[in-house]
Structure formats: C-alpha cells, structure tokens
Amino acid sequence: MVEDDAAVREGLELALRRQGHVVHTAESGEVGIELLVLRRPDIVVLDLMLPGMDGFETCRRMRASGPIPIVMLTARSDDFDIVAGLEAGADDYVVKPVEPRVLDARIRAVLRRAVSERPTEQPESEERHGDLVIDRAGLEVTKRGTPVSLTPTELKLLLELSRTPGQVYSRQQILTAVWDHDYLGDSRLVDACVQRLRAKIEDVPAKPEHVQTVRGFGYRFGRS
Amino acid sequence: MKKLLVVAVLLLVSACGVKPTPVVPAGPAPTLRNPSNDGRGADLILYFVLDGRVTPVTRSTGAAVGVTTALTMLLDGPTYAEASDGYATMLPSETGSITLSPGPPTVINFSFPLKQLTSIAINQLVCTAFAAMAAEGGTVMDGAITLGGPDVQLPAQACQAF
Amino acid sequence: MTSRIRSWLAGLRPRLVAAFAVIMIVGATAAAGASYVSARTAILKGFQDQTMLKLRDQIVTYLPTVSLPPTQATLDAFGTALKSSNAVVVYHGLRSGSGIDPDSVPADLRQAVASSTNIQFQRVDAQGYPQFFVGVPVQTGTEGQTSGIEVYTMVSLDQQQAAIDDLSRTAWQTSALALPFAVVLALLAARQVLRPVRALNKAASELGQGKLDVRLRVKGSDELAQLVTTFNNTAAELERTVGTLRTMEADARRFVADVSHELRTPLAAMNAVTDVLDEDAEQLPPDTAVAARLVSAETRRLTRLVQDLIEISRFDAGRAELRREDLDVAAAVTDSLAARGWAPGTDVVAELPAGITARLDRRRLDIVVANLVGNALRHGAPPVEVALRVERGDVVLAVTDHGPGIPEAVLPLVFDRFTKADTARARSEGSGLGLSIARENARLHGGDIVAVNTGTGARFELRLPREAW
C-alpha cells in the first residue's frame, strides 16, 4: 500500500491485516516502486494524492513493469481523477473514506481475476481469433505469436467477451461478470479497461476488430 | 365642475349677437337759437360753407337784423376769423340790391344771376333767409322761398342743409 | 374591455391631453370672445355714434331756421331737411310729412325724450331684426326746457348684425382650430414625460428580474433626470450589495467544501479501524468497550455526514454530473431495495410494473430511493408503499407511509438542509441532508420531489422526466 498520510496508512494496514492480508506500506511513489520490485506483492493499493511523484505517474510506472493488479485510493470521485487513474493502469478504485470491508472485497475480486479460469474438460485449448490466440487454461494471449502482457482485469475482460463472439454485453453485465461489483458499479471502469485492452491487442485501436463497440448497447467480441 | 362648464357655455352662447338695450342717454340735445315769444334773437345766423357743407355761423349783433340785411352780410362773405376757421362762401362777392317781397310765397330778388350758383350757394341764401325770418319771430311761410335773379326765377326753395 | 379603456383613461397621456385641451380651448375662447366682444362694441358704437352725430348736425344746421310754434309747413320743411336721416319731426300731435312712423318708436323712448334734455337712443329687437332708435328733444334757449319739438329716427342694424355674426362665427372657428393644436401639443408633452418614465419602468422591471447592471442615461437636469440618477445609484448599490452577498455565499460554500475535503483524510484513517474496534470490543474492559463502540459508531456517522456535505457542496458549486443510462425503472428500484434488505413483502410493499424505461443516473436514483424509503421506515410507520407509474412524459415514484405524517409547520421546510422532523430528537440516524440531496438529485434530472400528508401518513413523490431534453 502506497499512502502518504500516516494515520490512514496505519489504520488501513491494521484493518487489512485483520482481514488476513500481508501488508507492506510505502509513504511515497518512489518507495512504492522500490517495494514493488523488492517484495513482489500480489496487489498494490495506491493512493493518488502523493507527494513527489504523483499517484498517476506511480501507477503508470508500476503498470509498465508488469501485470500487477492495482487498486486506486482516491479522495475525489470526479470524472477526471477516476478516468485518469484508470487510463494510467488501475484495475479498480475506491473512494476515501472507505470501509475496510469494501476495500477487502475489491482486493479479493481483483485477485480472483488473476486466477479465474480453471482448466476445464479441454486442457490445452487454444482459441484462434484472427491474429489472436487465446489460451484459456494457461491464461496466455499471443498476437501473431508475440505474447501480450495483460493485467488480470484486462485478461478477464477479454476471456469473458471472447467466450461468445458476436454476443453483445452491456456494461452492467460486464461489470458484474468481470469486476464482480454490485449493481451500482461504475461503467467507466469498463470503458477504461476496453481502451487499454484495445491498445494492446488491436492493430489499429481506433478501428477495433476484436473488441467492438455496439453503440447504445455495450461491447462484443468480433467474429472472425 | 360640470355645472360650471355648462353655465360658462350658456353664457358664451347668449353673449353673442346684437342685444336690445334700455333707453340710454347720449349727450345733450341741441337747442333752438331763438326762444319763442321771447322777442327777437340777438344773434345773426349766416350760412357759410365748411368742409363742403352748409353750416351756420353765429355773429352776435346789437339788435335783430332784417332778412335783407342778413343776406347782404352773407354776401359780404366770412370774416377774417371765420375764414381762418375754415368757413368759405360759394356766393359771388358782388351784392347789388336785394329786395324782399313778403306774403306767400316770399320772394327775394337779387341783382346777380342765379343760374351759375351751385345748390350749396342757393342753400346758403335760403337757409340764411329762413333763419333771419325765424329770428324776426315769423314763421317760414309754406316752407319755401322764391329766389329771383335777373336771369331766372327759382321757386319753392327750402333750406336743404344737407 | 371597458376596464381597459378606463385604465387607459386614467393614464398620464389622456390626462395631459385633456388638461392641455381645456386650457387651450379656454384660452382661445377667452381671447376670441374678448376680441369679439370689443369688436362688436366698436361696430355698434361706431355706427350708432355716427348715426346720432349726423342727425344732430343736421338738426343743428337747420334749427336756426325754425321758430316756435312750428307750423305744419315748418315741420315739413324741417323733415325735408332731415330727409337723408329718414327722421320725423314731431311737435305735440303734429308730425312732419316725411320720415318714419312715430308710432313705431318705443314708448319708453318717447317718454324719456319728452322729459329729458339729452339725446336718447334705444336698441330694439323686432322679430329678430335689431333696430336702432334715436330721439332728439329740441331745447329752448338756455333754460333747458324742451321746446316740444322732437326728432326721431330709426336705423336697421341688420348689416351690423350680419357683420357681428360673422365675427362670432370666426371666433368659434378659431377656438375650434385651437383644439387639434392643443391635442398635438399635449401628445408631444406627454411623450416627453412618458418616454423617460417608460424607460424607467422597463429598467426597474429588468432590475427586478435580476439584471443588476442595468443603468439609464441621464438627460437634462429636471426632476425626471434626478429620478433617473437616483435609480442608477440605487441599482449600483444593489448590484454591489448582491455581489458582496453572492461572494460571501460562494466563499461560505467553498469553505464548507474545503473543510469537508480536509476531513476526509482523518476520517479515512478512523474508518479503517472501526471494524477492529467493534470486533475486539468484547475483549476490552467494560468501560473501554463502551468507549470503543461509541467511537466506532460516531466515526461512521461522521463519515456519512461528511460524505453528504461533500455531495451537497458539489451541487452548490454546479459540479454535479449526470451519467444517464437506459434502464428499467422497476428493476433498478427493486435492486435498490434489495441491496438494503428491504425486500418487498415485509414492511415494504412494492408496486413496480415492469417495462417502464427511462434514461436516468442509476447511482443517483438509488440514493433517492434509499433516502425516501429509509425515511418512511424510520420516521413513518410500516407498511411503506412504493408505487411506480408513468404520467405524461415522466416516471413518478410515490413512497407512502402510515406514520404520523409531517407536522404542518415543518412541511414547507422539509427539504431544507438540516431540517429534522422531530426537534425533540436532536440527533437522528441521518445527517439531516438526506432529503436535500434527494431533491437536488431529482432536480439535476430535470424533475422534482414533493411531500404531502395523506391524512394517514406522509407521501413523497419523485417525478423524473423519461428523456433528457
């Protein structure tokens, strides 16, 4: 957890520990990045209001270093902050003050994505969708042979959509399926994630072949 | 307010036009020169011409004069003072003799011709004669005098002051 | 219609026009009348005097030739001399042959002449024709005795009458001509006055509608100009005052927003550990346990209050955003109720027909529903009815409870901030901002919430337009 306010840091660390997590804390973005390398955590809880290197920059750097799940802690629920945070690479966000229960639920939901697909009756099943190859069991995605590094959330989104190509899913449905949010989830999460996904798997993100927008309805995975 | 308006309008309307009047005095009345039964008047009245009109002029004399005398004095013309007041005469200055024959009609004969006299001149003679006769206490007989001259006889002349 | 005419007649313009008209007519009439009267006098007097003087001169000229007593011949001669005046000479019973009929002379004139030493005249109206009679009593000598000789004449004043009538007609015409002038002048004067008055009226109404920067141009230095100056000054003062008030209000709101934001961080820390306090409270000594639970509960309450304050500040600053999506209203409401454990069937009775769709902000709808139903359950009494219907272009959600209802004194204030229904209970579950936030959320959509007492309880009706416009 990267949080500059000492009281919040102590309080949340205590609460999360009680929930069964192991918590390493950093009070600035730079220390957070060091910890990321040092401790190799399963998930990062990142406050956006940081001294020195701000939360967005920290998020971008952490995201650039790998598919680590990141949950944003933000004091404001303004569009600007949330969208910027999601574009910087966060998988989800909570608004301070946050009940520890809620934070715990978010953390667990994100972690579940990272280990979502269990091998089914068809181990070693690879799906070909154009230039994409999706391995559901191994949770790997390659584009023209090159592996694509996706965060758990991006991966889960791709898996869900590609499960039934051509089927249109509403944002609500995607939120429930991927983010595990209650009915009041924020559809901005979906839009930001789709954007990041497109940036990674589409040739021309502006003209997507795989993750297509269906205006007024939602998204669907393109048939090929 | 309305009433005032109505009254004002009525007043206005009624004030138009020529209105009758009661009897209004307007200056003193003229007097007879010669009171009746009072003896003879002591004024001599001669009719000269003023502004083209026959106008009487009064000269005070000591005693009453007769008609012929009055006529003679008339023919003599206005005095210097009278002339400077504007009185003139249309009669010839020569006199000659004047004769008077009383009894209706009264005839007065002059020695100068009468035809060339203007009616104003004739009036001068007639009115002077009338006045002189009235001053003598007599009345004008028949309202007419006959004037005679060497050329013509002019009958029934009345005094036409205007 | 007549009332409009009446109100127009009471206005400034007709009054000015009437006043001008009256003044002008009165003035013109007076002037015309005065000149008419003097002209008439002059005409009559001139003519009359001329007639009398002419007669008198004639008489005076002839009089020396007359002696008393006059004979008929004398009278006739006298009459002839006076022929141009058409006069008759009368002596006792005798009359001259020419001239007017003495019997036509008015009796009182003859009487006056007989007993006077003055020339007398009289105007008579004989069947519409004015006649002018003159009587001259001839005096004897200097004693002032009448000689008995009387001269009478009559002149018709028809021509004079005609001339005077002409005058009168001209006078009336002139007065009449004055009227259109008066009206035009009055309208001009009225416009002169009314234009600034109307400009002032317009400016004042604009001021009343909130346009505080309206000012008028000051022309001239009369009372109207003073009025305009006063107006300008007043408007400037008002603008300044309102500006100051607005600034103060904005400052106050910003302060509240800033404070709320500042509170977030410490509250975040405190919230993080409320669960810990609650869970471990049993292991603490009894007093400490109470203290721990107290702190935990109040922290949660404080957090809710701060969140509500931040929400309200956002509305005040105009920074609240609406994120609309198509949803089935019944389904959304059902989800809201379920999420809070108010499943239909127990205390909450739901009448939510499916198929009613609208474009609404789901999160805000949820907040409103939670608040209304929560209030109904808390301050009212079950059963709480939640009913959904469509009315014209709106969806209407009615939440009705069977409690004591809202006190009449509080009803108009119920949506105000920090209004509590029961003042005896100084603290309640909510923050006191719930209904305010609910109403702001409704108004953000372009709708509203109204509260009424049903007689058996209270009803809150949420009305939202189905489509954004």
Where do the domains of chain A lie, and which CATH numbers do they carry? 6-114 (3.40.50.2300), 126-221 (1.10.10.10)
What's the pLDDT tens digit per position in C72-119?
Answer: 877 887 887 788 888 888 888 888 888 888 888 888 888 888 888 888
Q: Which among B31, B49, B74, B125 is the top mutation candidate for probing chain C, defined by the most C β-carbons within 10 Å of its own β-carbon?
A: B31
Look at residue B35 in the predicted model and tell me its pLDDT. Answer: 47
Closest alpha carbon within chain B to C158: B18
User: Which of A18, A78, A182 is the closest to C276 by Cβ?
Assistant: A18
At C111, is the secondary structure helix, strand, or coil? helix
Interchain contact B62–C (C-beta under 8 A)? no
The minimum CA-CA distance between B136 and chain C, rounded to whole Å, is 9
User: Which of C272, C323, C362 is the closest to A8 by Cβ?
Assistant: C272
The minimum CA-CA distance between B20 and chain C, rounded to whole Å, is 5
Residue percentage of chain A with pLDDT more than 90:
21
Residue percentage of chain B with pLDDT more than 70:
74
Look at residue B36 in the predicted model and tell me its pLDDT. Answer: 45
Range list of β-strands (E), C82-216: 88-91, 94-95, 118-126, 129-140, 145-156
Q: What's the mean pLDDT in C36-56? A: 86
Q: What is the mean pLDDT of chain C?
A: 84
At A9, is the secondary structure helix, strand, or coil? helix
Q: What ipTM describes this predicted complex?
A: 0.75
Residue C139 pLDDT class (50, 70, 90 cuts): confident
The most confident of the ranges A13-27, B29-43, C346-360 is A13-27
CB contact under 8 A, B29 and C139: yes
Q: What's the mean pLDDT in A176-192? A: 80
CA angle B44, B50, B52 (to 5 degrees): 130
Residues of A in contact with C307 (CB under 8 A): 97
Interchain contact A111–C (C-beta under 8 A)? no
CB contact under 8 A, C67 and B134: yes
Residue bearing tokens 């000229």: C61
Q: Rounded CA gap, A139 and A158, in Å?
A: 11
CB contact under 8 A, B144 and C52: no
Identify whether the C-beta of residue B129 lies closer than 8 Å to the C-beta of residue B72. Answer: no
Residue bearing tokens 């009338």: B130
User: Which subunits count as partners of chain A given 3+ CB pairs below 8 Å?
Assistant: C
Q: Minimum mean pLDDT among B2-11, C45-54, C330-339, C353-362: which range?
A: B2-11
Residue A3 pLDDT class (50, 70, 90 cuts): very high
Question: For residues B22, B28, B29 and B32, what is the CA-based torsion angle, rounded to 10 degrees?
Answer: 160
Give the N- to C-terminal CA distance of chain B in Å, as an integer. 59
Identify whether the C-beta of residue C68 lies closer than 8 Å to the C-beta of residue C140. Answer: yes
What's the pLDDT tens digit per position in C286-299?
Answer: 888 988 988 998 89
pLDDT at B95 over 60: yes
The minimum CA-CA distance between C11 and chain A, rounded to whole Å, is 59
Q: Which among A5, A8, A187 is the top mutation candidate for probing chain C, defined by the most C β-carbons within 10 Å of its own β-carbon?
A: A8
Q: Rounded CA gap, A47 and A75, in Å?
A: 8
Q: Rounded CA gap, B53 and B71, in Å?
A: 18
What's the pLDDT tens digit per position in B111-125?
Answer: 888 888 888 888 888
pLDDT at A152 over 60: yes
The most confident of the ranges A129-143, C32-46, C227-241, C428-442 is C227-241
What's the pLDDT tens digit per position in A19-75?
Answer: 899 999 999 999 999 999 999 999 999 998 888 888 999 999 998 888 888 999 988
pLDDT at B40 over 50: no
Q: What is the mean pLDDT of chain A?
A: 85
Give the residues across from C465 on adjacent strands.
Answer: C394
- Cis peptide, bond prior to residue C69, ω within 30 of zero: yes
Look at residue C429 in the predicted model and tell me its pLDDT. Answer: 61
Q: Minimum mean pLDDT among A44-48, A184-188, C33-37, C456-460: which range?
A: A184-188
Interchain contact C311–A (C-beta under 8 A)? no
The minimum CA-CA distance between C198 and chain B, rounded to whole Å, is 32
Look at residue B42 in the predicted model and tell me its pLDDT. Answer: 61
Residue C223 pLDDT class (50, 70, 90 cuts): confident
Interface of B with C in 4-33 (CB under 8 A): 12, 15-33
pLDDT at B38 over 60: no
Domains, chain C, with CATH or none: 2-166 (3.30.450), 224-316 (1.10.287.130), 325-465 (3.30.565.10)
Interchain contact A173–C (C-beta under 8 A)? no
pLDDT at C365 over 90: yes
Look at residue C23 in the predicted model and tell me its pLDDT. Answer: 82
Higher pLDDT, residue C63 or A48: A48
Residue percentage of chain C with pLDDT more than 70:
96
At C252, phi and psi to the nearest 5? -60, -45
Interchain contact A8–C (C-beta under 8 A)? yes
Size of interface B-C (CB pairs under 8 A): 172
CB contact under 8 A, A8 and C269: yes
What's the pLDDT tens digit per position in C420-456?
Answer: 655 554 455 667 888 999 999 999 999 999 999 988 8
Look at residue B12 in the predicted model and tell me its pLDDT. Answer: 63
Question: What is the per-residue DSSP string for C402-416?
Answer: -SS---TTTGGGTTS
